[in-house]
Amino acid sequence: MHLEIERVPPILNPDQTRVLLRPFNPGDSERVRGIVARIMALPEEQVKPVLESVCAEFCRRHREIRKSFLERFGEIHEIAGIDSNIAEERKLLIGSYFLAEYSLESAALFNPSIVPHPDQSDLQPGELRFILSLRATGEGHISSITFRTGVIHADQKIEVFAATGYLTEPRQVPSAKYEKALFGQKISELGLNGDFSSQILAGLEDSFSLDDLRAALKAETCRIGGTLSVEGESAKKGIWMLAKSNYEVQFEPDQLLCERIIFPATPSQRNGIEDARFVHFKKSDGTYIYFATFTAFDGRVVMPELVETSDFLFFRFITLNGPAARDKGLAMFPRKVNGLYTMLSRIDNENICIMTSENVHFWYECIVVMKPESPWELVQMGNCGSPIETDAGWLVLSHGVGPMRKYCLGAFLLDIDDPTKVIGRLREPLLTPNQSEREGYVPNVVYTCGALLHDGVLIIPYGLADHATGFATVPLASLLAAMLN
């Protein structure tokens, strides 16, 4: 059965003018001190004109830029050994030398996922407001998460609102609390068990903060004379990295969603937060939360991680532990199945798997449910976002890689009660790169991180050659019929 899929507007292209203010680190502490010394040597009458020139050039590009300058000075002055009792204008000027603009989308804006917006007020009948998450890639191939909002109209026309305003990162929540039992289990899963770890956990309350952990690590190091064994040093480093990788951030309520940028913030994310797959997750009590699985990349190793939010203002980042929590392309089901969290995965880099868990933090076993069979997918398969619940079963979009590393989209259907059973599958691609889509950052690729079902039509935002983002639609009834034949 030939299945027609319709490409529809709009197309979202990367915008190099969307810039974020980021710390600039020109070198080691000696280099920093040298730069600061030269700024300190500027005559007093020269400081104000230079500062005013910088502010005049950049104040319309960033929110509260003088505040950013002052905050950056606060991070630099201890490294440089500067007396903080200097004139504020010189502090501001010093801070400006250690900041730089980063163009988030200078290379690409792609691999989207789409979920219903938490605010569905003031819409016309038949309309749905949505949130589109996208992978923005800039200098150094560093990827972050950016957002757009839009509306699917009653006639299925897709409108994505223009991105405006100042780009801003969230503030890390300094008083975030950790549960000792959960933290201890994560320590165990990482193989950091030992006397040092046991002593640290024994000295912590059932609920503790990052400052409490820092104090406990310092106290235990002092207690044993300041010199740790190789095992102890490894445990200390691992415990601290684990804590820093499980963190919370908060955006300001007055920031538009398109202004909110989630930029890599931990060592595991150093080189990118890639391919976030957002899902509107229904909890056991009937309320909803948003989860997103994503790939953290440190330049050498990829690790799956999880973020959760209820309002896209407050985000909690969670490390995933256990032998099944590895490789790329994890995607959560939108609710528990048979009382268990359920996830799609591809831990062998070739086949699609299902894994389940009682705790969203820990994943131990997986079952292979689908292997490459058709010529267009013989290199590898993977999911393209969270399953969509339908009356016929769990609808999953997939990708397949074939000759010349060409990526195509496919689809399959899983049993609603037992998602390890495949009950339908497209034998031909749902979407392949056409002549106008194949050129880009990575040629011959179409890819998505999640679709949305609205009024019987599947809305598929998808990446074009790892460069831009387009949209396609297909009637659900036609897609299911093609899979079940």
Share of the chain above pLDDT 90, in %: 90
- The pLDDT assigned to 165 comes to 86
Which of 81, 103, 125 finishes a domain? 103
Same domain (yes/no): 366, 323: yes
1 pLDDT above the threshold of 70 = no
- Residue 238, class by beta-carbon neighbours within 10 Å (0-12 exposed, 13-18 middle, 19+ buried)? middle
Same domain, 340 and 479: yes
User: Does any domain span residue 452?
Assistant: yes
pLDDT the model gives residue 203: 94
* End residue of a domain, out of 64, 79, 103: 103
What's the domain range around 225? 174-245
The pLDDT of residue 174 = 85
Cβ distance 25 to 109 under 8 Å?
no
CB 361 within 8 A of CB 318: yes
Which of the four pLDDT bands, split at 50, 70 and 90, describes residue 288? very high
Same domain, 273 and 203: no
Mean pLDDT of 200-214: 95
Q: Tell whether 113 and 152 lie within a shared domain.
A: yes
- Residue range 136-140: mean pLDDT, rounded: 95
List the single range of 216-230, 265-279, 354-368 with lowest mean pLDDT.
216-230
Count of structural domains within the chain: 3
In contact, 390 and 419? CB cutoff 8 Å = no
User: Does some domain include residue 280?
Assistant: yes
Q: Model confidence at 2, in pLDDT bands (50, 70, 90)?
A: low
Please state the separation of Cα 40 from the chain's center in Å: 40
Residue 90 domain flag: yes
pLDDT > 70 in the chain, percent: 99
Residue 338: Cβ within 10 Å count: 9
Nearest CA to 357 out of 385, 318, 392 is that of: 318
Residue 326 belongs to a domain: yes
Give the span between the Cα atoms of 94 and 37, in whole angstroms: 10
Instruction: Please tell me whether residues 82 and 117 are part of one structural domain.
Output: no
Q: Is the pLDDT of residue 81 over 90?
A: no
CB 297 within 8 A of CB 272: yes
pTM, two decimal places: 0.95
Question: How many Cα atoms are found within 13 Å in the side-chain-facing hemisphere of 346?
Answer: 22
Mean pLDDT (whole number) for 364-380: 96
Q: Residue 75: inside a domain, yes or no?
A: yes
Q: How confident is the model at residue 349 (pLDDT cuts 50, 70, 90)?
A: confident
Whether residues 152 and 28 fall in one domain: no
Share the mean pLDDT of the chain. 95
What pLDDT was estimated at residue 301?
86
Closest alpha carbon to 4 in 473, 454, 483, 480: 473
- Separation CA 316–CA 246 (nearest Å): 8
- Indicate whether 226 and 370 sit together in one domain: no
pLDDT of residue 80: 82
Cβ pair 166, 259 in contact under 8 A: yes
CB-count exposure of residue 83 (10 Å: 0-12, 13-18, 19+):
exposed
Which residue, of 103, 131, 154, is where some domain finishes?
A: 103
Q: What confidence category does residue 76 fall into, taking pLDDT thresholds of 50, 70 and 90? A: very high
Q: Does residue 462 share a domain with residue 392?
A: yes
Do 354 and 472 reside in the same domain of the chain?
yes
| Average pLDDT value for residue range 35-61 | 96
Mean pLDDT of the region 362-385:
96
Whether residue 409 is found in the same domain as residue 295: yes
140 and 70 housed in the same domain: no
38 with 179, same domain? no
